[in-house]
A and B are shown apart, each in its own frame.
Chain A
Amino acid sequence: RKEVEQDPGPFNVPEGATVAFNCTYSNSASQSFFWYRQDCRKEPKLLMSVYSSGNEDGRFTAQLNRASQYISLLIRDSKLSDSATYLCVVTPTDKLIFGTGTRLQVFP
C-alpha cells in the first residue's frame, strides 16, 4: 500500500464549481500535513498546511481526520487559474512524503 494515496483525476469542472479532493495516508504516526500545488512544468509550491481543527484560506478549505487517516481539500468558486496538480503531503518522520497528485482542469 502506498504511504499517501490520491485519486489522480483529472477532475474537469466548470468555472464557479466546487470541487473536493481526498487523500489517505498509511502511517498513523504522521505529524504534519500539507497541500502543495504544482503547475505544469513548474516546481511544487505550498498551498496550505492542514490542521486537526480544519483551516480555511479564502476559497480553500482543508480538513484532517486522524482517526480515518484522511485529508481533504475543498475549492469553492473554481477559477481557471486553479487548474493545476494538487499534491497531498504527509510527514511520518522528518521528511515529506508526496502523493501522486490530483489533476484539476477548470474550463470556462
Chain B
Amino acid sequence: SAVISQKPSRDICQRGTSLTIQCQVDSQVTMMFWYRQQPGQSLTLIATANQGSEATYESGFVIDKFPISRPNLTFSTLTVSNMSPEDSSIYLCSAGGGAWDEQFFGPGTRLTVL
C-alpha cells in the first residue's frame, strides 16, 4: 500500500490568487492523478501527472488553469490559478500502478475561494 500526504489540508483564498497543492507518496509509484470533488458530488479527474513530461488533462481542464508538476516518482503539485469562487472544492491526489490496480488517495485539500 501507499501512504499519501497533501499540503495544505485546507486554505481560504482570495479571488484572483493562485494556490499550489503538494502531494507526497511514501514510495515510488507509476501513476499519480489529481481529482476534484465538489460539495455533494463525486470525484472528477482533472489530469494524470506524468513523470518527466507534461500532464494529461481531461476534457474541461486546461494547463493554464491547473498547471501540474511531477519531478519524480513520489511527488507532484497541482496549482489552481487565478481562482474564482467556482474553484471552491476538495482537491485530491491519488497514486497507484494504473487503472487496473488499487489507487490510494491523499486526505484532500479543502479550498475555499472568497
Binding site for B on A (CB under 8 A): 31-32, 34, 42-46, 49, 87, 91, 93-101
Contact (A32, B42) CB under 8 Å given A45-B105, A95-B33, A95-B48: no
**Given A98-B42, A99-B42, also A46-B48 (CB < 8 A):** no
Given A43-B108, A94-B98, A95-B33, A87 and B42 contact (CB-CB distance below 8 Å): yes
Establish whether residues A31 and B33, one from each chain, have CB atoms under 8 Å apart when the complex forms.
no
- Structural contact, A91 and B105, CB atoms closer than 8 A: no
Contact A32 B99 (CB under 8 A): yes
Q: Which 10 A-B pairs give the minimum distances between C-beta atoms?
A: A43-B105, A91-B99, A100-B42, A98-B43, A98-B42, A46-B102, A94-B99, A32-B100, A101-B42, A43-B107
Residues of B within 8 A of A (CB): 33, 41-45, 48, 92, 98-100, 102-103, 105-108
B99 contacts A43, C-beta separation under 8 Å: no
Query: Which residues from A are CB-within-8-Å of B102?
Result: 34, 46, 49
Minimum Cβ distance to chain B for residue A57 (Å): 14
| Known contacts A43-B92, A43-B105, A95-B33: A31-B42 contact under CB 8 Å | no
Q: What residues of chain A lie closer than 8 Å to B48, measured between beta carbons?
A: 94-95
